[in-house]
């Protein structure tokens, strides 16, 4: 911040003449001193665009090692904590998003209590899989992006608009992803116009891709999605969808070493959030514990979990077929 005060870098209150035809905009100082325009010289509804025009190095992934980096840099990236499995399921008038708590560094457990599910705004949420530190930057920048747009435009983005803005941010991280700093988000929200929950997935080059009914990302996603395929029912109540997501995370942890299951001894349980017409709600630790206890107690009787009916019309079983 010292460069803001000693005059070497234009700061948030950089001066400049008023633009006669700019409806109150302030002209930058580029034409007067050769410096880049000040913060007030750019009126953009996108905070990411604003940040990229002034300090692009602060955007996620812009400090990745170049092609000439030695192998030690690659080892350092490999050993960074990585978040793993996130699941989402559309429910009655909304959507549920849940994530396990484990982060891994190579073959080691880096952290046992990581949070990977976050509020984006009042009617949307996101989780991420990949490099933990970059993922947190994405979450924070996206939160500011949505808030900044609402303040500048006087209205919030549509759900599809939010999904597209996140895709633009993911695409901007492609260079870092090629170096190993991969982050893939899972974005969910309540569509006020359609009165339903929606799920959007991404790849390292962007997206978004709208998913139907349920979806999962991360190292345990294959197992979680397989579990949801057998447990999911259209228009599930919110509570049933949350329970199905915890069952799916348990199955993922059962087969994927990078996914953590409920840790009853340390009292570490999945993070569960719902987004409905009432807005975003993160379940309390006691509520998450209740869902985890239901799953663990059921697995004491049926270790492989509830079974799906073999024939249409049969009720699902809590034990083996």
Kindly report the CATH number assigned to the domain that includes residue 167. 3.60.20.10
Please indicate, yes or no, if residue 27 is contained in any of the structural domains. no
Checking 229-235 for CB contacts under 8 A at 24+ apart, the result is 230/307, 230/308, 231/306, 231/308, 231/316, 232/89, 235/91, 235/92
Please indicate, yes or no, if residue 206 is contained in any of the structural domains. yes
Catalytic: which of 29, 33, 84, 276?
Answer: 84
Please indicate, yes or no, if residue 184 is contained in any of the structural domains. yes
pTM: 0.77
- With a cut of 60, say whether residue 276 has pLDDT above it: yes
Please indicate, yes or no, if residue 260 is contained in any of the structural domains. yes
pLDDT of residue 309: 82
What are 150-199's pLDDT values in tens digits?
A: 998 999 999 999 999 999 999 999 988 888 899 999 999 999 999 999 99
The total number of structural domains in the chain stands at: 1
**Tokens found for residue 233:** 């029912």
Please indicate, yes or no, if residue 179 is contained in any of the structural domains. yes
| 48 or 290, greater pLDDT | 290
pLDDT band for 117, please (50, 70, 90 cuts). very high
Eight-state DSSP code of residue 321: -
Calpha distance 223→302 (Å, rounded): 17
pLDDT of residue 70: 54
Please say whether the beta carbons of 59 and 52 come within 8 A: yes
Q: State the chain's mean pLDDT as an integer.
A: 82
Calpha distance 224→217 (Å, rounded): 9
pLDDT of residue 48: 63
Q: Smallest Cα–Cα separation from 85: which of 203, 200, 219, 175?
A: 219
Torsion angles phi and psi, residue 241, rounded to 5: -65, -40
Paired with 307 in beta bridges are 317
Tell me if residue 84 is catalytic: yes
Residue 51: partners with Cβ closer than 8 Å, 6 or more residues away? 58, 59, 141
What are 241-268's pLDDT values in tens digits?
A: 999 999 999 999 999 999 999 999 999 9
Residue 96: domain span: 82-301
Burial pattern 254-266, b for ≥16 Cβ within 10 A else e, equals bebebbbbbeeee
- With a cut of 60, say whether residue 10 has pLDDT above it: no
Please indicate, yes or no, if residue 198 is contained in any of the structural domains. yes
**Tokens found for residue 272:** 């569960």
Please indicate, yes or no, if residue 109 is contained in any of the structural domains. yes
For 137, what's the count of Cα atoms within 13 Å in the CB-facing half-sphere?
20
Say whether the peptide bond before residue 50 is cis (omega within 30 degrees of 0): no
Please indicate, yes or no, if residue 319 is contained in any of the structural domains. no
């Amino acid at each position: 911040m010292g460069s803001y005060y000693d005059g070497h870098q234009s700061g948030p209150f950089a001066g400049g003449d008023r633009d006669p035809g700019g409806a109150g905009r302030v002209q930058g100082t580029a034409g007067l001193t050769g410096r880049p325009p000040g913060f007030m010289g750019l009126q953009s509804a996108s905070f990411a665009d604003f940040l990229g025009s002034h300090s692009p190095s602060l955007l996620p992934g812009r400090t990745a090692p170049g092609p000439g980096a030695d192998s030690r840099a690659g080892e350092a990236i490999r050993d960074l904590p990585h978040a793993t499995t996130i699941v989402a399921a559309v429910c009655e008038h909304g959507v549920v998003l849940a994530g396990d708590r484990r982060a891994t560094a190579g073959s080691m457990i880096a952290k046992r209590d990581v949070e990977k599910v976050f509020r984006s705004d009042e009617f949307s949420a996101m989780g991420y899989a990949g490099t933990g530190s970059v993922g947190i930057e994405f979450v924070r920048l996206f939160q500011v992006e949505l808030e900044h747009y609402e303040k500048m435009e006087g209205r919030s983005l549509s759900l599809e608009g939010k999904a597209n803005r996140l895709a633009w941010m993911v695409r901007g991280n492609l260079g870092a992803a090629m170096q190993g700093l991969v982050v893939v988000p899972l974005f969910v929200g309540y569509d006020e116009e359609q009165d339903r929950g929606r799920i959007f997935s991404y790849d390292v080059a962007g997206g978004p891709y709208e998913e139907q009914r349920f979806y999962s990302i991360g190292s345990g996603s294959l197992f979680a999605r397989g579990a949801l395929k057998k447990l999911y029912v259209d228009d599930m109540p919110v509570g049933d969808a949350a329970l199905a997501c915890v069952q799916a995370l348990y199955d993922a942890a059962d087969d994927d070493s990078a996914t953590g299951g409920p840790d009853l001894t340390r009292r570490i349980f999945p993070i569960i959030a719902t987004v409905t017409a009432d807005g975003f709600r993160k379940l309390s630790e006691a509520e998450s514990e209740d869902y985890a206890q239901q799953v663990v107690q059921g697995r004491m009787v049926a270790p492989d979990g509830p079974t799906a009916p073999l024939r249409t019309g049969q009720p699902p079983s809590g034990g083996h077929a």
